[in-house]
Amino acid sequence: MVSSLLSPFPNVISQPNLVSRASPPFFTRAQMSSESLPPLPEHRIVLGCGSVGVDFLASVASYPKPDDKIRSTSLKVQGGGNAGNALTCVARLGLNPRLISKVANDAQGKSILEELESDGVNTSFFIVSEEGNSPFTYIIVDNETKTRTCIHTPGYPPLIPDELSQSQLLSALDGANMVYFDGRLYETALIIAKEAACKNIPILVDAEREREGLDDLLNFASYAICSARFPQAWTKAPSLPSALLSMLLRLPNLKFVIVTLGEDGCIMLERSVNGGSDAEEIDIHGLLESLKQRKDESKTIPTCISSVVTNLSANGIETVFGRLFIGTAEKIPPSELVDTTGAGDAFIGAVVYALCAGMPPEKMLPFAAQVAASGCRALGARTGLPHRTDPRLATFL
């Protein structure tokens, strides 16, 4: 039976051999000795603000047609939410994340907190409502197309800024090396962003889709990681390369922007501070194509190709002095690819770690891609998230 402590339908019966609960993670693999790893970053505290929830994941042979009745091939119940997933990744990589979010004092809320705490995420800054419901999501994983469909029920009542006191805010930011926002809980996120900016704490924003308040958050961002559709939707630019250029022009605090492209890897545009007056002006579209031609298609592990620092332009847009990067994704064998749920969150968590560790982009992008690929080898966003001692990460750390 699926535990009534987790299900919004406490009387639902499921086949015992299909049900798995992922706390602690069952996903095992031989681990590296910590002595063989580079030292952890000196400043390891990261503060996040955003969504958490419970995920009810059902794998099916193929996505159902309207009015179909089908059976799942496996079922998993585990914690979810962009911020919850990303900071779980951060914790497993060895950092000390703190998370600001809200749950209800119900069975699901308790399970959310317990799972995060078991992975090393500090939940002491959570707001717990005595009434309402905690967030949860139904996720259908299509084994045929390797895609997933999410049906989300928000938590209630929502987090309001007054619930986070000034003393709590200052305590949460104390010692933080970076602040991360997933774009939700924007009113509270903006208050945190303003205080973080006053303290010169770098801010990373996940720009998954256009949301209320996201424009204001992006104005504070030092780094932005976007979904494939966001840059053009937000800038109205005619192409993805020109949209990335437009984002750096519109957001002067932004040091880099990354767009994730699934199995096609990612593209990163980094702003350079020094120089530019004498550098050659190059069209960003042509530069991107030249980088793509340098990809080694025979390599299955993630790689990075970078341009020189130069003045980049597009279709009459102002120039940006910087570098363009292409990051490739791991070519996961079809037999090993299970579920892409949370792959973007894993990528973001790995980028947060890389920034705290001072990795250059040439090392950061393959590392983040490898972390994301590891997570795709198991059902659910967190089951396959690697620990720092995972041998798959050895060559990237």
Give the per-residue SS3 of 92-130. HCCCEEEEECEEECCHHHHHHHHHHHHCCCECCCCEEEC
- What is d(CA 222, CA 218) in angstroms, rounded to the nearest whole number? 8
Q: What percent of the chain has pLDDT over 90?
A: 87
Q: 86-133, pLDDT tens digit by residue?
A: 999 999 999 999 999 999 999 999 999 999 999 999 999 999 999 999
> CB burial class (10 A; 0-12, 13-18, 19+) of residue 162?
exposed
In order of 28, 177, 341, 355, 358, the CA distances from 331 in angstroms are 21, 33, 17, 25, 26
Of 330, 355, 163, 193, nearest to 270 by C-alpha is 355
Place 29 in a pLDDT band, splitting at 50, 70 and 90.
low
Region 150-174 average pLDDT = 96
Note the pTM of the prediction, 2 decimals. 0.90
49 close to 30: Cβ distance less than 8 angstroms: no
Q: 214-263, pLDDT tens digit by residue?
A: 999 999 999 999 999 999 999 999 999 999 999 999 999 999 999 999 99
Task: Give me the domains of the chain, ranges plus CATH numbers.
Answer: 40-51+82-133+162-221+332-396 (3.40.1190.20), 241-260+266-328 (no CATH)
The larger pLDDT score, comparing residue 258 to residue 5, is at 258
Instruction: For residue 347, give the amino acid letter.
Output: F
